Chains A and B, each alone.
Chain A
């Protein structure tokens, strides 16, 4: 990666969003590929978990891409916004401002967004609203549980001695739920309802619309899931079955890392993920991904 250069940059009208632009200038201009913008994973700053976004940026830059990783407002080195937008709207506004800056300074008109966890959700929500987005890499995005999820979930437990021992000894979560509902102790910590919230009709409809918009916009999607999120999903095709009315077709490629944790702590798993992303983008480069996108 001898020719790859990294430059610090400030984005947005207030120059308050801090990012790093990675590219090999000698091949980026000639390659004319969509740029890549990498979002924060939760509140971890732009280098990403285990510095994986730095590695990813360099590999993609060596393949001819211009890559930008930046901190959303209030995260990492970026200043908080001066308006009072709620967190999700603020993140979407930040992303739009970064794309506007890149369009103005680097003439970038087609972008693939990469997001892990919250970054994946922000990508899904934003994707279909901006014609500059031509691709998305979603790592552990939010997906509602499906009938098949529950079959897998309980099916696996049915054959585990440990689950039966817990059940008969009264330690099974079901018993704890029953006990809680009887006791109704107000001092008990609130249960994590994030997974349950995803099951609500309103949230499902919201996500379905967001995915439908991305498909309608012709955005290619690589969706990666990890076994670490078993409480939320546990098989490769869950995204398809959660939103059966979205005509993903060949736009969607799915991958499931059963043994990986949410942030790909294990080097071999992380290496495999980075290779997958680079190869997925390379395959779409030949198809001139998003070449027909309308630039505002």
Chain B
């Protein structure tokens, strides 16, 4: 496992690259795309475990922090979806260069899945497969959830989200949801990409969300029977468990991802 900084001088990104565990493994690679904000922090354990499992299954694996998140350069208020997509593309290039692979499997969780989809649609040839783990399907649903979380904050001195919570301009559990980021998130619509999903795409869900039913209906309507769908009951990687500040590691989900990727 190699922790490293890559990218440009203006946009230095932190990543962790791990080669396949077994010698002589095929030059196939997987790139993990994190969620945003508190979900990133909580899902870190699961993403690390997933990377390790994929490595043991013979993949070159890389995970990285978007600009303005984790150990990457930039302030938390600098995060934009457009920037995160550029970061995914930059990380893809880094992984392809390092591993010698010609294509990558993109695996995204929550907002990371949505961003990975956009990149997969743009960079079709370089993407071998796309794994959508609990993707954000509609930006409005995501923003409503974010506002609800912000309102749940137990701090008496915490400024409450404004009435129009979807406009941004407040913190979600300690992470700034700027107006610019909220504007971008509000425009998120995964359904429009359904016809362009890579041939090899899988959707894994655990939470009961109205938007997931919409996504399934859209896949039916578009006759995308090639897209695999699986609902796995499990604890959520992206939500805090028992006040520990970190999420669960849902092994059934991780097993399903590794099995499908392999």
Which residues of A pack against B, CB within 8 Å? Answer: 6-10, 18, 20, 41-47, 49-51, 54, 76-77, 79, 259-261, 263-270
Mark the stretch among B96-104, B170-178, B220-228 that contacts chain A: B170-178
Hey, which chain A residues are within 8 Å of B153, CB to CB? Answer: 265-266
Bound complex: CA of A46 vs CA of B71, how far in Å? 9
| Interface residues in B1-58 (C-beta closer than 8 Å to A) | 1, 3-5, 12, 14, 16, 38, 41, 44-45, 48
Hey, which chain B residues are within 8 Å of A54, CB to CB? Answer: 70-71
Mark the stretch among B81-89, B113-121, B154-162, B203-211 that contacts chain A: B154-162
Q: Return the chain A residue nearest B52 by Cβ.
A: A79
- Assign chain B's interface to a size class: 20 to 34
Which residues of B pack against A, CB within 8 Å? Answer: 1, 3-5, 12, 14, 16, 38, 41, 44-45, 48, 69-71, 73, 76, 153-158, 171, 173-176, 244-246
Known contacts A49-B245, A267-B171; is-contact A76 B71 (Cβ 8 Å): no
Judge whether B71 and A270 touch: CB under 8 Å: no
Bound complex: CA of A49 vs CA of B76, how far in Å? 13
Judge whether B157 and A8 touch: CB under 8 Å: no
Bound complex: CA of A206 vs CA of B174, how far in Å? 35
Q: How far is the CB of A22 from chain B (nearest CB, A)?
A: 10
Judge whether B246 and A44 touch: CB under 8 Å: yes
Known contacts A77-B1, A259-B156; is-contact A6 B71 (Cβ 8 Å): yes
Hey, which chain B residues are within 8 Å of A270, CB to CB? Answer: 174
Q: Return the chain A residue nearest B159 by Cβ.
A: A266
Q: How far is the CB of B182 from chain A (nearest CB, A)?
A: 16
Hey, which chain A residues are within 8 Å of B14, CB to CB? Answer: 6, 8, 20
Hey, which chain B residues are within 8 Å of A7, CB to CB? Answer: 5
Q: How far is the CB of A41 from chain B (nearest CB, A)?
A: 7
Per a CB cutoff under 8 Å, which of A9, A47, A261 touches B70?
A47
Q: How far is the CB of B66 from chain A (nearest CB, A)?
A: 12
Hey, which chain A residues are within 8 Å of B3, CB to CB? Answer: 8-10, 18, 77
Bound complex: CA of A18 vs CA of B63, how far in Å? 14
Q: How far is the CB of A264 from chain B (nearest CB, A)?
A: 8
Per a CB cutoff under 8 Å, which of B1, B12, B175 touches A50?
B175
Hey, which chain A residues are within 8 Å of B174, CB to CB? Answer: 49-51, 263-267, 270
Bound complex: CA of A47 vs CA of B41, how far in Å? 9
Judge whether B71 and A265 touch: CB under 8 Å: no
Q: How far is the CB of A120 from chain B (nearest CB, A)?
A: 15
Per a CB cutoff under 8 Å, which of B155, B175, B246 touches A261?
B155
Judge whether B4 and A51 touch: CB under 8 Å: no
Bound complex: CA of A261 vs CA of B245, how far in Å? 13
Hey, which chain B residues are within 8 Å of A79, CB to CB? Answer: 1
Judge whether A76 and B44 touch: CB under 8 Å: yes
Judge whether B158 and A45 touch: CB under 8 Å: no
Q: List 15 A-B contacts (CB under 8 A).
A: A8-B5, A8-B71, A43-B244, A43-B246, A44-B41, A47-B70, A47-B71, A49-B174, A50-B175, A77-B3, A77-B16, A265-B158, A266-B153, A266-B157, A267-B176
Judge whether A51 and B76 touch: CB under 8 Å: yes
